[in-house]
Structure 1
Amino acid sequence: MSEDHTHVQEFFGARAAGWDRKFPDDGPAFGTAVAGLGLRSGDRVLDAGCGTGRALAPLRAAVGPSGTVLGADLTPQMLAAARRAGRAAEGALLLADVARLPLRDGSLDAVFTAGLVTHLPSPGPNLRELARVVRPGGRLALFHPIGRAALAVRQGRVLTPQDLRAEPVLGPLLAGSGWEMTSYADEDDRFMALAVRHS
């Protein structure tokens, strides 16, 4: 396992048990974000970097009982917290690295991510791996329940033009990774970029 992966596991592993209590008001934002992904009944969707699984219930509601919901995370403690919260009932939980997903090419209709992109050790190749498992025309949502500027203030850092989620940086990154960005919103109470898989 790489040093980046170990750091991510240690960071989130130490915070898993209290994660949902730390952000108790994010639920509605997750529901709104999932609605923006435009899922249909029967779709197959992955929550990449699912954490404690807060998106799994709205994803299940969007794809219905005939759909497939998967949650993949690198951190065992996060998946354990998802199970304790009863979220395994909404979808299958996989201990997996989003850089090497155990899924067939083009097997999904969409990928949802919450707060994932800034934790990717190799954003270009990692986004390419997400593209690999999505069919042509499938969709990607990069979501965070707080905007870039508000998050920077919360973390005590300065927002720079080189920020990975800045529109002029993210658009070309997605384009070089098999995606076309179709919408971008960066507001105080949410960040949401949507993209479509190139055919």
Structure 2
Amino acid sequence: MTDDHMQVQEFFGARAAHWDARFSGDGPAYEAAVAALGLRHGDSVLDAGCGTGRALPYLREAVGADGTVLGADLTRQMLDEAVRAGRGRAACLLQADVARLPVASGALDAVFAAGLIAHLPRPTENLRELARTVRPGGLLALFHPVGRAALAARQGRQITDDDLRAEPRLGPLLESSGWRLLSYVDEDSRFLVLAARTG
């Protein structure tokens, strides 16, 4: 396990038990972001870096009983909280690294990723691995329940153009990783980027 992995696991593992209480008002934002993916009944979707599984019930509702919902997270404590909250019934939960997903190439219709991009140690490679799992034309949603400026203020830092989530950086990053940027929204109330799998 790399130092990056250990830092992520330590950070989220220590916060897992209180994560949902800390962000209890985010449900409607997750629901709206999942709706923006336009999933259909029978689709297959991965919640990459699913944490405590806040998106999983909305993803399950979108794909129906005959669809497939996977939730993958590196941190066991977060997955345990997802199960404790009853969200494990909405998905198959996997303790897995997004750099090496146990998912067949082209098996998915979409990937949902909330708050993930800031924690990717090798963004180009990691986004390419997500692209590997999605069929051509399938979608990626990069989501956060608050925008870049609101998040920076919450964390006591300044927003900068070299932020990976800034549109001038993120567009080329997605292009080099097998995705085509479809839409970019960065408002106080949400950050939501949709991209389509190329080729």
Query: TM-score by structure 1 length?
Result: 1.00
Correspondence for 1:198: 198
For 1:12-23, list aligned pairs within 5 A: 12-23=12-23
Correspondence for 2:55: 55
Correspondence for 1:100: 100
User: Runs of 5+ in structure 2 lacking a partner?
Assistant: none
Q: CA offset at residue 74 of structure 1?
A: 0.1
| 2:123 equivalent to 1:118 | no
Q: Classify the secondary structure of the residue corresponding to 1:16.
A: helix
Instruction: Output the CA distance in 2 between the equivalents of 1:181 and 1:118.
Output: 18
Amino acid across the alignment from 2:14: A
Q: Classify the secondary structure of the residue corresponding to 1:109.
A: strand
Q: CA offset at residue 26 of structure 1?
A: 0.2
Residue by residue, what CA displacement relative to the aligned partner does 1:161-183 show, whole Å, maximum 9, x if unpaired?
10000000000000000000000
Q: CA offset at residue 103 of structure 1?
A: 0.8
Q: CA offset at residue 142 of structure 1?
A: 0.1
Correspondence for 1:184: 184
Instruction: Output the CA distance in 1 between the equivalents of 2:76 and 2:195.
Output: 29
Instruction: Output the CA distance in 1 between the equivalents of 2:56 and 2:171.
Output: 27
The count of residues paired between Structure 1 and Structure 2 equals 199
Correspondence for 2:132: 132
Q: CA offset at residue 102 of structure 1?
A: 0.5
Q: CA offset at residue 97 of structure 1?
A: 0.2
For 1:3-42, list aligned pairs within 5 A: 3-42=3-42
Identity of paired residues, percent?
69
Instruction: Output the CA distance in 1 between the equivalents of 2:13 and 2:56.
Output: 20
User: Runs of 5+ in structure 1 lacking a partner?
Assistant: none
Correspondence for 2:152: 152
Correspondence for 2:75: 75
Instruction: Output the CA distance in 1 between the equivalents of 2:41 and 2:125.
Output: 30
Q: Classify the secondary structure of the residue corresponding to 1:18.
A: helix
Amino acid across the alignment from 2:31: G
After the TM superposition, which segments of 4 or more aligned residues of structure 1 sit over 3 Å from their partners?
Answer: none
Residue by residue, what CA displacement relative to the aligned partner does 1:8-44 show, whole Å, maximum 9, x if unpaired?
0000000000000000100010000000011001000
